[in-house]
Amino acid sequence: MNVLKQLKEYYWKEKRFFFASILCLAVATALGLIYPNLLRYLIDDVIVPRNFEPVPYLALLVLGIVSLKGLFQFLHGFAGGRLGNRVAFNLRNALYDKLQTLSFQFYDKARTGDLMSRLTADLEAIRQFIGFGFAQILNVMLMFIFGMAMMLSINWKLSLLTMVAMPLLAITAIRFEGKIHPAFRSIRRSLSELTTAAQENITGVRTVKSFAREPYEIEKFAVKSDNYKGTNVHTAHIWAKYFPVIELLANISVILLLGVGGYLVILEQLTVGELVAFFSLIWYVITPMWSIGIHINNYTQSKASGERILELLHHYVHVKNKEKAVQVTAENLKGDVEFDHVTFAYPESQPSLYDLQLKAPAGSVIGLLGATGAGKSTVIQLLMRAYNVKEGRILIDGRNINDYDLVSLREQIAVVFQETFLFSATIRNNIAYGNRNATMDEIVRAAKLAKAHDFIMELPQGYDTVVGERGMGLSGGQKQRIAIARALLKDPKILILDDATSAVDMETEHEIQAGFSELMKGRTTFIIAHRISSLRHADEILVLDKGRVIQRGTHKQLLNEEGPYLDTYNIQYADRPQTAAEVREKQRCAN
C-alpha cells in the first residue's frame, strides 16, 4: 500500500467520487444479503407449510431489491469511472509536466518507448485499480464481514467450522503475492523494451531500409517479443500453480457445509430454509476467498505500474531554478556573455571543456570551430543551461547564469540545431513555434530572411502545408531553413547557430548569411560551423580540440599563423592553398 500512499495527492482530491463509489457498492452488497433471508422465509414459512399468500408480496419485494441494487451498482460504476479517469487525468498531466522539467541529462539515457509505456499501459493499470479495483477489495471485505455476521446469527458452530481453511488460504495468498509482484514488474519492463524497439524501428525506418537491415530488425524485435512472451508465460505459470490451490481451499468450506449442515437438518437441529440460507450466505464468505487471487493480481499489476510512475515523478531534476530566481525580459537583458574558467564533464565521461575563458560583449559574434567531440556543442549546451557547470561560472550581463529564471532565460535564446526537428503541423505553426503571437507578415519576413519563402510558396498549401512527423516530406536543407526562420522570428537577445547551414548548398548558405548579417545586429551570436565561410566575419573565432582552446582570434589573425584553422582553410579552399607567410605578404601588399 506504500505506492498508493505516495500517489495519494493525485486521487485524494477526488475523494468525493471515491467515497460515493464505496458507499454505493456497500449498499448494493447489503441489499444482496437480503436474498438469503428471503430464501429462508420462503422455504420455512411459505413452501413447507404451503402458505402461498405472501408469494406476490415476496415477488414485488424481490423486484424492488433488484431495482435498487441495480441502481446502486450503476452509481458505483459511474462514480468509479469518474474517479479513475480524473486520477488518470491528474497523473497524466503530472507526468507530462515532469517530463518538461527534467533536464537534458535525463533524456541522454531515457528511451522513448519506455516513457510512452509509462504514460499509457502503466497509467491505465493505475486508473483501473483506483477506479474499481480498490473498491472491489473493500467490497469483498464487506461481503466477508456481513456474510459471517449473518451466518453466526443462524448457527455459530457451523459458521466456525467453515472457517477451518481460512488460515491456509491466507498463507497461500500472501505467498502468491510475493511471487506475482516481481513477475508483473518483469512484464512491465519487457513491454517497455518491446515498445522502444518498435518506436525506434518506425522512427528510423528510412535508415533501416537504406542499409537493407530489415532481417536484422525483424530478428531484434522477435527477441524482444519473445522476452515479453516469456515473462507473460512465467506469470501465467505462477497463476496456474497457485490459483487452483486457492480455489480448492475456498471450496473446502462448501464441502464441510454440505456434509455437516445436511447432517444437522436430518437431526432437525437446522431447518431446510436455514441450510439453504446458510449455503447462499457462505458464498459471501467464499467469494472473497476465491477471488482474493484476482484482486491480488490486479493490485500487484497496479503496484508495479505505480512504482514505475513514481520512479519518473520522483526523478531528480538536475537543472532547476533557485528560490527567487531573476526573471529575464528583452528589455532588461543586454546579452553580454562570459565563460569564466569553465570546466565541464558529462556524467561518466572525461571533461568536454577545460578551463574555458571567453568574453562575448553584447552584439558580438563568436565562432566555434573544431572536430567532432572538440567541445563546441558543449559550450552551447552550457549557455542554454542544459547542464550545470561543474567548475567555474557562466555570466550573462555580469550575473551568474544560475541566478536567472530558467524558462525566461531560454525565451531570450534562440537555437538552430544541426539536426533539425519539425513538428507534425503546418509550416506556419512550425515557424511561429517560439513566438505564438507573431503575425503572418512577421512569419513571411522571417522565412524570406532564411531563404525559405520561395520553396514554401511552391508547396500545395503554402504556409498552411502540414509537414510529416519530424519534417518528413521536406529535404534536409528545407527543414533547416524553416528552423532558421523559427529562430529569427523569436527575435532573441542571444542567437545560437549550431552548424545551421550544414544542409544547404554554398549558394544558399551565402544568401542566408546575407540575411544573418542584418539579423545579428544588436544580438550576441554564437556560430558553430565546419565551413570557414560561416565564420570569417565573426568578431572572435575559437578553435577547440578535445575541450581546450588551441587557437583564438579573427579570421585574418588566424590565417596569419600556422595551425588547425589555416589547415582547415586550405582543405576547404584547395584550389587556392596558402601558408601563413603568404597570407601576411598578401595583407602587407594590400595595405
Q: Give the model confidence (pLDDT) of 547-573 as tens digits.
A: 899 989 998 888 888 888 888 888 887
- For CA atoms 29, 32, 36, 38, the dihedral sign is positive
Is residue 449 pLDDT above 70, yes or no?
A: yes
DSSP of 470-482, one letter per residue? GGTTS-HHHHHHH
Q: From CA 574, how far away is CA 568, in angstroms rounded?
A: 10
- Alpha-helical regions (H) of 317-460: 376-383, 406-411, 427-431, 440-449, 453-457
Residue of 537, 503, 216, 550 whose CA lies nearest to 370: 550
At 346 the pLDDT is 84
> What is the DSSP pairing of strand 548-553 with strand 540-545?
antiparallel
Antiparallel, parallel or unpaired: β 391-396 and 494-498: unpaired
What span, in angstroms and rounded, lies between the C-alpha atoms of 224 and 206?
21
Q: What is the pLDDT of residue 532?
A: 83
Q: What is the DSSP letter of 114?
A: H
Q: Note the pLDDT of residue 440.
A: 92
C-alpha cell at 48: 413447507
Which pLDDT score is estimated for 84? 87
Q: Give the per-residue pLDDT at 526.
A: 92
Grid coordinates representing 25 are 457498492
| pLDDT tens profile 170-211 | 777 777 767 777 787 788 778 878 877 777 777 666 667 666
pLDDT at 451: 81
How does residue 366 score in pLDDT terms, banded at 50, 70 and 90?
Answer: very high
Sorted by where each starts, the structural domains of the chain and their CATH numbers stand as 2-313 (1.20.1560.10), 555-591 (no CATH)
Summarize the confidence of residues 139-149 as an average pLDDT. Answer: 81
CB 230 within 8 Å of CB 240:
no
Lowest mean pLDDT among 291-300, 360-369, 451-460, 550-559: 291-300
Helix 476-489 vs helix 506-519: angle between axes, to the nearest 10 degrees? Answer: 0
Q: What phi, psi does 366 have (nearest 5°)?
A: -115, 130
Residue-level pLDDT at 446: 87
Tell me: the pLDDT tens digits for 566-589?
A: 888 888 876 665 666 555 555 555
Contacts of 105 (CB under 8 A, 6+ apart): 318, 319, 346, 347, 387
Distance between CA atoms of residues 239 and 220, nearest Å: 29
Q: Grid coordinates standing for 535?
A: 565564420
Q: What is the per-residue pLDDT for 581?
A: 57
The per-residue pLDDT for range 238-270, each reduced to its tens digit, is: 878 877 877 777 777 778 777 888 888 888 888
What pLDDT band is residue 394 in, cutting at 50, 70 and 90? very high
